[in-house]
Amino acid sequence: MTDQNNSARNIAVNILEKVDDGSFSNIQLNQDIKNSNLIDVDKNLLTELVYGVLQHRLTLDYYLSDFVRKPELTPRWVINLLRTAIFQMEFLDRIPDFAIFNESIEIAKLRGNDGIRKMVTGVLRSYQRNGKPDFSRIQNPVERLSVQYSVAPWIVDQLSYELGVEKCTSILESVNQPANLSVRVNRWNKSHADIIKDLEYDYQVTSSKIAQDGLKLSKGPSISESRSYIDGDITVQDESAMLVAETMQLEPDQVVLDACAAPGGKTTQIAEKIGQNGKVLAWDVYDSRVKLITQNAQRMHLTNIDAEVQDAEKARPDLNDHFDRILVDAPCSGLGLIRRKPEIRYLKSKKDSSDLHQVQLAILDNVSKMVKNGGILTYSTCTILRKENQDTINQFLASHPEFELQRTETAKKVKKDRNDLSLNIYPDDFGSDGFFIANLKKVK
């Protein structure tokens, strides 16, 4: 008999409740898996349930809307229990309905009263009998796309306005596909070929089509258990994120500032490129996150990184005209990461984007003083909204005529035929995260 307190489905309901209260899904999931005694197959089911329900939450609530009359009066754990059940029925084809029903009803009995058990039983039986409602019932096109792809209406509306309905729909479809596991090789330690050879003992390895040092891994153990990761030969990083350092025109012996650096993925990439005689200064506002940068550097055997607590909005006149290169990987709404962090699609607002735009400008204005003449200031975000990307750069340039926008070039000539000088990567372009990169040269 399954212990429902410690079953994957019950733990999933607990995690979803905590995410509703503000917890980050990845952190909460990792923590609860560590505290459980689940076998690997159940850990995989738990992960699938948590991310799947978060990814499809608006869709699932629409599917349930004909069967749960007053969801606002229903305990949140019951709603999350029903979401997990409907998710399994609609999106997982390997679990029979009777198994889904039995476990869901047992959890309802364990956590609630007889009335809740009857309600859960009735909803699931009615759903099985009548089927899901069709999206065509939704007349408003923005609301229909929002529900169909489970993305907040304001995001659908904004992307449709900026990019057109066709591109918006393509992005929405792509963010509901599984994220790739991508890693970057550390050339400081070993050759690219030797690292691939080591990884091929445990994984199916393919080279990234867009990132020079990127690899995609599949069919292997958890990456944290990989000897290549433990030895610092690789680090986990999205392919789009790897492009940032590629575009910075880094050279040996340069002095570089990574102004918003934690957890240090781009910091370590910069450090590899500028060599032992170069120096990277990495900032973050929180001591705990600065420690992450240091730990990353130590794992990868990089000795040319200094990490310190520093707010990139605060003046440092002692560093004026000091750096050959500065990276501002700016605080942003993170909408390019929806595939990996599905709760972002519900937590962010249009006001958040406007507020972050002001923060981005303040950081750029402050660190721009620290770039040497002839040096380059690189601005990047993991969002896909114009307000935080092109608009931020345009406004900065309007008040800083000493900088000129350069063409952003990657090693593999990503989007080489585009008209824009800056580089936008959308989630549907290559199956990687959404990113924006702009390079600004100080010319006077």
Q: Would you give the DSSP letter of residue 16? A: H
Beta strand 279-284 pairing with 305-309: parallel
**Annotated active-site residue in 330, 382, 393, 440:** 382
Give kind and range of the element (H or E) at residue 155. Answer: helix 153-163
Q: Would you give the DSSP letter of residue 167? A: H
| Cis peptide preceding 133, ω within 30 of 0 | no
Known binder of ligand: residue 252? no
Number of H helices, E strands in the chain: 19, 12
Known binder of ligand: residue 317? no
Going through 294-348 in order, the beta strands assigned E by DSSP cover 305-309, 323-329
Measuring CA to CA, which residue among 280, 251, 286 is closest to residue 267? Answer: 280
Known binder of ligand: residue 284? yes
Known binder of ligand: residue 314? no
Q: What is the CA radius of gyration of the chain?
A: 24
> Which distant-in-sequence residues (6+ apart) come within 8 Å of 150 by Cβ?
55, 56, 57, 58, 59, 60, 176, 345
Known binder of ligand: residue 329? yes
Known binder of ligand: residue 263? yes
Is 294:307 a contact under the CB 8 Å cutoff? yes
Tokens representing 348 are: 């962010």
Known binder of ligand: residue 311? yes
382 flagged as catalytic:
yes
Known binder of ligand: residue 260? yes
What is the C-alpha to C-alpha distance for residues 190 and 275, in angstroms, rounded to an integer? 14
Known binder of ligand: residue 415? no
> Which distant-in-sequence residues (6+ apart) come within 8 Å of 105 by Cβ?
117, 120, 121, 124
What is the C-alpha to C-alpha distance for residues 157 and 200, in angstroms, rounded to an integer? 44
> Which distant-in-sequence residues (6+ apart) come within 8 Å of 268 by Cβ?
186, 235, 296, 297, 300, 302, 305
Known binder of ligand: residue 216? no
Which residues carry out catalysis? 382
Residues forming the annotated binding site for S-adenosyl-L-methionine? 260-266, 284, 311, 329
Point out the annotated binding site. Answer: 260-266, 284, 311, 329
